[in-house]
Amino acid sequence: MATPLIRVMNGHIYKVPNRRKRKPELKPSEIPTLLGYT
């Protein structure tokens, strides 16, 4: 159950930084958030 959730969240996080390459700080900030969700 955690695998599909992480995949969906990872895809969403990847899309955010990919579209907004101006704010690379959002990427590392979201990584710890995902760990906390699991």
What type of residue is 8?
A: V
The whole-number average pLDDT for the span 20-28 is 55
For 1-11, the pLDDT digits (tens) are 567 766 666 66
- Supply the pLDDT for residue 3: 72
Expressed as residue numbers, the domain containing 19 is: 2-37
Q: Helix or strand or coil: residue 38?
A: coil
Q: Could you give the number of structural domains in the chain?
A: 1
Q: What does pTM read for this prediction?
A: 0.23
CA–CA separation, 21 vs 1, rounded Å?
Answer: 30
